[in-house]
Amino acid sequence: MSEPHLAISKLKEKFPNSILEVETFRGEITAKIAKRDIYEICRFLYSDPELQYHMLTDLCGVDYFPETPRFEIVYLLHSFKLNHRLRLKVRVQEGESVSSVESIWKAANWLEREVYDLFGVPFENHPDLRRILLWDGYEGHPLRKDFPVEGPDFDKPYKPEV
């Protein structure tokens, strides 16, 4: 095992109790993070002068139904300074919410709305948490594993409101 990446060693030093696990697969580093500290960790990774993870490349949800905690939120950060990608993960119980990172990266605005829309995971302190791909009033969250692929109303006849 080679030396841990700068970002990981810095994180372990700064947040010793919140870094639950670090994995490397095919050269990609993934850190599993305690949910309560996700905002502070992101803030630190963004503002630390040696790291400068200035871009939130991606933020997405994963549903591990029927495991508990059920959901996982995956953050993919990019640092132009280090030319490095770092993946963070937090686990979320159904009904729980996650701190929004929108105030750090504006890119999170739409990405968090998408996770809220398709998985039903709410984000605290998000300025505009609405559905984004589906319409307001849609029932259910399609990317959950217990949502049928063909949709819930597949076998019901279509009756438009007149």
Partner 1 sequence: MAETRWMTINMGPQHPATHGVLRLVLELDGEIIVKAIPHIGHLHRGVEKLAENRTYHQVIPLTDRLDYTNAMGNNLAYVLAVEKLLGIEVPKRAQYLRVMMAELQRIAAHLIWLGTHVLDIGATTPIFYTFREREEVLRIFEEVAGGRLTPTYLRIGGVAKDLPDGIEEKIRDFVKTFPQRINEYETLLTQNIIWLKRTKEVGIISKEDAINWGVTGPTLRGSGVKWDIRKAFPYSSYDEFEFDIPVGTVGDVYDRYIVRLREMEWSNSIVRQALDRLPKGPILSDDPRVVLPDKEMVLTDIASLIRQFKIVSEGFTPPKGEVYASVEAAKGELGFYIISDGSNRPFRLRIRPPSFLNLGALPKMIEGSLIADVISTIGSIDIVLGEIDR
Q: Interface residues with partner 1 (CB under 8 A)?
A: 25-26, 28, 30, 54-58, 60, 62-63, 74, 76, 80, 83, 85, 87, 105-107, 109-111, 118, 131-135, 142-143, 147, 149
Judged by CB, which is closer to partner 1: 36, or 148?
A: 148
Minimum distance from residue 106 beta carbon to partner 1 (Å): 5
Judged by CB, which is closer to partner 1: 58, or 96?
A: 58
Can you count the helices (H) and strands (E) in the chain?
3, 7
The C-alpha atoms of residue 29 and residue 75 are separated, in whole angstroms, by: 12
Judged by CB, which is closer to partner 1: 16, or 128?
A: 128
Can you give the C-alpha Rg of the chain in angstroms? 18
Minimum distance from residue 29 beta carbon to partner 1 (Å): 11
E strands, 64-162, where? 71-79, 84-92, 98-99, 123-124
Minimum distance from residue 16 beta carbon to partner 1 (Å): 25
Minimum distance from residue 94 beta carbon to partner 1 (Å): 17
Contact of 89 with 31, CB cutoff 8 Å: yes
Judged by CB, which is closer to partner 1: 80, or 153?
A: 80
What sign does the dihedral 47-48-53-58 (CA atoms) show?
negative
